Chains A and B, each alone.
Chain A
């Protein structure tokens, strides 16, 4: 039996089992242990944010240093990242200067990207009918159209009588609720299986080599 990755696997299994037992058994010792471990995980997640930041910095610094294509954009990225980081560390995130950065840069860019979705989604739905014209595509687009027409009052007409008060609620609250419930239960079963595979050491996404299939 190979010992490679055994230490990491043992840590993952022990941590996972303690947290899981703390979820289902309300003994104060276990609950406190679970909360302590979760606090440590939050700290590690924050460290991971900085690792991501250093990685982003390294990738773009390399582009600038080697004068690769798009070097100017990388320079701007690094510049704005360092300015925001230093201001954030020095002034704290609730300072008016940080609010200005948030309201002047993050908010408009995010909203504009969201606004561009209108064009992207319209184009995608037209392409769907061209590329994959079948029953399910038609049902998908017809449902979207009915929901949109039934959701907001139309110019000169107002609310469409039967569509707004009967068809749209039936589609959204009965038919779509049924599909959504099936999808949610499916996702939960998938998460449960994957989680248990990690807890039993059959899946090792943290760098340890996975055991051969068949669990030998």
Chain B
């Protein structure tokens, strides 16, 4: 390899080409964009599989099976069997055999979701709402009460917006009038929240665009 071709130059050149190919989508869908996306998907899938092998399957399944003690070897037989059953999902004819392995994953996932929802979201969020009215914390009392009240009203009305139950009447299902009014106020809070999230996503995307344009200009300037 000639001395002027360094690893950095290869990385930058490939990066430059792929950036141009992806940004070419701005003038419309085209083969260059599709080629870049297919390469990206291929590389990402291969990379993810290599990571899964080296970080999980090799240390947690293969090594204990080959060099573990009797207890480790017998314990690892369960995920090994479930893994083989899961592989049956690859063929439509044997897919049913993979159901127990899927059930094992879904059961554990549901329990994690329940535990995470209760311990990770519900309790901390409710505690944070209560703490808003803790008058011993820093800041003036009227200011804290004002902000706390708005957050409490916003939280409750947002939850009211997601209240979908309705009373059955001869003219069709009808929701309560109070819930409708509260849900309307909640919709304002939801619009504001999504507006802030939108601004955050927009700012992040703008940062990425500036970084890419800066990279393209720098790469061209390095040859001039």
Q: Measuring CB to CB, which residues of chain A are less than 8 angstroms from any residue of chain B?
A: 5, 7-9, 11-20, 23-24, 36-56, 58, 70, 73-74, 76-89, 92-93, 96, 98, 100-119, 121, 125, 135-137, 139-145, 147-148, 151-152, 171-172, 174-189, 191-192, 194-196, 198-199, 204-208
Check: B68 CB closer than 8 A to any chain A CB. Answer: no
- Per a CB cutoff under 8 Å, which of A18, A24, A148 touches B199? A148
**Size bin of chain B's contact surface:** 35 or more
Asked, given contacts A43-B83, A104-B11, whether A195 binds B111 with beta carbons under 8 Å apart, the answer is yes
Do residues B117 and A116 form an inter-chain contact, with CB atoms below 8 A?
no
Check: B61 CB closer than 8 A to any chain A CB. Answer: yes
A-B contact pairs, 25 of them (CB 8 A): A23-B111, A50-B52, A76-B38, A80-B38, A81-B42, A84-B50, A105-B15, A108-B16, A108-B212, A108-B215, A110-B40, A115-B212, A139-B192, A143-B199, A178-B150, A178-B153, A178-B154, A179-B193, A181-B125, A183-B158, A187-B121, A194-B110, A199-B107, A199-B111, A207-B95
Considering the complex, give the chain A residue whose CB is closest to the CB of B151: A178
- Per a CB cutoff under 8 Å, which of B34, B108, B111, B121 touches A184? B121
**How many Å lie between the Cα of A182 and that of B170 in the bound state?**
33
Q: Measuring CB to CB, which residues of chain B are less than 8 angstroms from any residue of chain A?
A: 7, 10-11, 14-16, 18-19, 22-23, 25-26, 34-57, 60-61, 75, 78-79, 82-83, 86-87, 89-90, 95-96, 98-122, 125-126, 128-129, 147, 150-159, 161-162, 186-206, 208-209, 211-213, 215
**Min CB–CB distance B37 → chain A (angstroms):** 8
Do residues A88 and B50 form an inter-chain contact, with CB atoms below 8 A?
yes
Considering the complex, give the chain B residue whose CB is closest to the CB of A138: B191
Residues of A within 8 A of B53 (CB): 46, 88-89
**A73-B34, A118-B209, A139-B195 known, 15 other contacts, Cβ within 8 Å:** A20-B114, A45-B56, A51-B89, A76-B38, A87-B46, A104-B10, A108-B22, A112-B19, A113-B22, A115-B23, A116-B205, A178-B155, A186-B158, A192-B118, A206-B99
Please indicate which of the listed interface residues B50, B78, B119 has the most CB atoms of chain A within 10 Å of its own CB: B50
**How many Å lie between the Cα of A177 and that of B83 in the bound state?**
43
Do residues B114 and A191 form an inter-chain contact, with CB atoms below 8 A?
yes
Considering the complex, give the chain B residue whose CB is closest to the CB of A182: B158
**Min CB–CB distance B190 → chain A (angstroms):** 5
**Min CB–CB distance B61 → chain A (angstroms):** 5
- Per a CB cutoff under 8 Å, which of B109, B118, B195, B213 touches A141? B195
Asked, given contacts A176-B196, A182-B154, A182-B157, whether A81 binds B46 with beta carbons under 8 Å apart, the answer is yes
Do residues B34 and A188 form an inter-chain contact, with CB atoms below 8 A?
no
Asked, given contacts A11-B100, A50-B49, whether A175 binds B202 with beta carbons under 8 Å apart, the answer is no
Do residues A77 and B192 form an inter-chain contact, with CB atoms below 8 A?
no
Do residues B54 and A15 form an inter-chain contact, with CB atoms below 8 A?
no
**How many Å lie between the Cα of A78 and that of B18 in the bound state?**
18
**Min CB–CB distance A121 → chain B (angstroms):** 5
**How many Å lie between the Cα of A7 and that of B110 in the bound state?**
17
Asked, given contacts A118-B205, A180-B193, A198-B106, whether A188 binds B121 with beta carbons under 8 Å apart, the answer is yes
Considering the complex, give the chain A residue whose CB is closest to the CB of B163: A186
